[in-house]
Structure 1
Amino acid sequence: MSPEFLLTSLIIVASPGTGALYTIAAGLTRGSQASVVAAFACTLGIVPHLLAAMVGLAAVLHASALAFAIVKYAGVAYLLFMAWQTLREHGALSVEAKADPRSAWRVLRDGVAINVLNPKLSIFFVAFLPQFIAAGEAAPLARMLELSAVFMAMTFIVFALYGLFAAAMRDKVVSRPAVMAWLRRGFAGAFVALGAKLAVTER
């Protein structure tokens, strides 16, 4: 495993984005267990992109402007939906004193959807990973799976750390309604900003 791959992957994973934002919100408003579920969900959302790259669908997404646009704007719409839900206190920043299986399922569902609808992940597997697979690699598919597993492990660990840190601050935040109100607006604004950034993203 090359140090260049590990360093670049860590930078990509640790950079603030929709997954990190969602995991932090889950930990801040639902606690440590929800933050780990959110981190797992965002990691699970990478799998469809990996499978797409393995069967060549990601290459089609990379080459086809229409296919890329469809997935991109679906992602934008979902981010705007998350922003709206957050402002209504039914989304990422809904505070629940006692979590139940339904809330855990919602955290999992939303976390997976956030990354599934991120076309840049498919492009990542098409444009980034192949750089670390030698042209004469005897088993390129196995190598791709190995690199992808490392990337996903990094994603889960970094996101879980973000979420657990947020969960540790939970009691200091949720007991202050004014702070929660500003956080809702801030997170909703961040979802809108990320949606706008995705909307102007080119292949």
Structure 2
Amino acid sequence: MLGIQHYDTFLLACIALNLTPGLDTFYILARSGREGHVVGLGAALGINAGCVVHTLAAVLGLSAILMTSATAFTALKYLGAAYLVWIGLRMLLGRQAMHAPATTRGHGFAAAFRQGLLTNVLNPKVALFYLAFLPQFVTLQAPRAQLGLLVLGLSFIGTGLCWSLVLALLGSRIHRLLQRRPRIGVWMDRVCGGVLLGFGLKLALQRPQ
């Protein structure tokens, strides 16, 4: 009824994709490392909440707009790129005293969740990925193919959430190190900001496939 096929292969692909380092991995480690595993958990939940949005969009067919409309793709692309560049520049250019505590000012669980959510939702490449990846494992002519797509999307999110939680816990060890050596945190902010800035510029140059 759902039309799902090769589910075991799908799960293996999900695990491999989630283990591949990318923006999500980097963001969770950065937030957890700077502010502890609770904030890292907020980043992980925010990113996976964004994946829920993309899954629902793919199921409802809204992501197809990004495939067919250059205007829609361009608008969302530049919005997401601008957001990443803004975060990156704040971390890259922010001045923090070496004796300051490792906790980032004005941040926290809610901010990490919100930024993780927006970073994921505003990336059209993620929407296009869901649209291209999920249908490969569903017979679209099945009576309840949309429900099958939803099951696959939630399965992908489940594997991703497990890995995200692991990353948040690993990042907390970095946090303890930063508490002992605040100067490392200053350099970490610079590196994190540079990488996020790079991701934003790369997204701005991305063209629809």
Whether TM exceeds 0.5 here: the answer is yes
Between the aligned partners of 2:12 and 2:78, the Cα distance in structure 1 is 30
Structure 1 unaligned segments of length 5 or more: list them.
Answer: none
Which amino acid in the other structure matches residue 96 of structure 1? T
Between the aligned partners of 2:183 and 2:103, the Cα distance in structure 1 is 17
Q: What is the CA distance between 1:192 and its match in structure 2?
A: 1.2
The correspondence for 1:115, drawn from 120, 125, 147, is 120
Q: What is the CA distance between 1:202 and its match in structure 2?
A: 2.1
Q: What is the CA distance between 1:89 and its match in structure 2?
A: 6.4
Cα-to-partner distance string for 1:146-202 (whole Å, 9 max, x where unaligned): 101111111111111112101123211232233112211110111011112212222
Contact 2:35 2:108 in 1 (8 A): no
Q: Which residue of 2 aligns with 1:184?
A: 189
Alignment of 1:74-85 (within 5 A): 74-85=79-90
Are residues 1:138 and 2:143 paired?
yes
Q: Which residue of 2 aligns with 1:24?
A: 29
Between the aligned partners of 1:30 and 1:60, the Cα distance in structure 2 is 38
Alignment of 1:95-174 (within 5 A): 95-96=102-103, 103-174=108-179
Contact 2:52 2:154 in 1 (8 A): no
* 1:187–1:164 Cα change, 3 Å: same
Between the aligned partners of 1:89 and 1:52, the Cα distance in structure 2 is 40
Give secondary structure in 2 for the equivalent of 1:45.
helix
Which amino acid in the other structure matches residue 188 of structure 2? L
Q: What is the CA distance between 1:136 and its match in structure 2?
A: 4.0
Cα-to-partner distance string for 1:72-126 (whole Å, 9 max, x where unaligned): 1111101111112223269xxx9329x99x7221111111111011111211221
Give secondary structure in 1 for the equivalent of 2:139.
coil
Contact 2:102 2:185 in 1 (8 A): no
Say what the alpha-carbon RMSD is for the aligned residues: 2.2
Are residues 1:5 and 2:10 paired?
yes
Q: Which residue of 2 aligns with 1:53?
A: 58
**What is the TM-score with the length of structure 2 in the denominator?**
0.86
* 1:96–1:182 Cα change, 3 Å: closer
Identity of aligned residues (%): 30
Which amino acid in the other structure matches residue 138 of structure 1? P
Give secondary structure in 2 for the equivalent of 1:16.
coil
Structure 2 unaligned segments of length 5 or more: list them.
Answer: 1-5
* 1:188–1:156 Cα change, 3 Å: same
Q: Which residue of 1 aligns with 2:49?
A: 44
Contact 2:102 2:178 in 1 (8 A): no
Give secondary structure in 2 for the equivalent of 1:169.
helix
Are residues 1:62 and 2:67 paired?
yes
Give secondary structure in 1 for the equivalent of 2:143.
coil
